[in-house]
Amino acid sequence: MNASVSEVGLADCYAARRRIAGRAVRTPLTRSAALSARFNAEILLKWETCQPTGAFKLRGATNMIAALLEKRGRDALSAGVVTASTGNHGRAVAHAAATLGIPAVVCLSRLVPEHKAAAIAALGAEVVRVGDSQDAAFEEVTRRVEERGMTLIPPFDDPLVVAGQGTIGLELMEDVPDLDRVIVGLSGGGLLGGIGAAVKAIRPATRITGVSLSRGAAMAESLAAGHPVAVEEVESLGDSLGGGIGLDNRCTFALVRRVMDDHYAVSEPAIAAAMVDLLEHEKQLVEGAAAVGLAALVEHGLEVRGQKIALILSGNAVSLETLDRARAMAGR
């Protein structure tokens, strides 16, 4: 697993699609009549909320575990797999491991909402709470890898994980070959990097736009600094976009820098309004991290008139309490 993510190409994404077939689904891409009229463009919604675990993370986790089984065999994974997560990746690892009959441990910081921890435990994984950041959770992961011989399934910084997320890019290009822009949440870079790698290989003219939180955006701050940096995590409606990228990041930092064309940061009120808009007009409940594409369109007034735009609705792990908070913040 020493390949650079920058070397991940179409063959890797197609191999990932073969491995995840029957375990992750090809998600719908639908046209939003309300948003298309609002922006005078073709606004297309990629519903990763339709995955069995409710988020795109199932693609990358399933691809990596399946690939390791192919390469190393079941005995090599007998001690189980382990990861750290802000929620969705942990649920994906738990689901994939349970499907393949492998023990799983998911380490979560205390900032991860309880409903996400409960969803992971319900899939049969052991949940371990540790520290106040994802970096602290990863310290526990490292200990279990070194002392117990468990196998790490990273949430983003691995070629196999990125290739799994890249299968979204394959689907987008097959459904809309002349797509003008993809707007996608940016955190660790696995989702944007994977989609960008696949899309750019097929249609270099398609614009890849990243959207981060206005505070605690590790990848955005790292790109600005020119190298990975640590940032303080903050509570947010878009909590799935929290967490660091790792000071020793070996994959996604370089990949995001290569494939992302532009980037925007969005405020909490903009995320809240976007969540409520999607619920009201699309009748779908999405988490804050999934709404940041729409938030960027509105808050930054992006000029998309006449274009075909895909928004990646990355997950639906949101509690009713969080929805109430979003509605109050949006004044609706």
DSSP state of 230: -
**Residues contacting 239, CB < 8 A, separation 6+:** 86, 87, 111, 112, 113, 287, 288, 289
Phi, psi of 157 (to 5 degrees): -90, 60
Let me know if 314 is a catalytic residue: yes
The residue annotated as part of the active site, out of 32, 46, 57, 109, is 57
DSSP state of 251: S
The residue annotated as part of the active site, out of 85, 214, 240, 314, is 314
Burial of 38 (0-12, 13-18, 19+ CB in 10 A): middle
**Residues contacting 14, CB < 8 A, separation 6+:** 170
Strand order in the sheet with 181-185: 29-31, 42-47, 308-313, 181-185, 207-213, 262-266
**SS3 at position 102:** coil
| Residues forming the active site | 57, 314
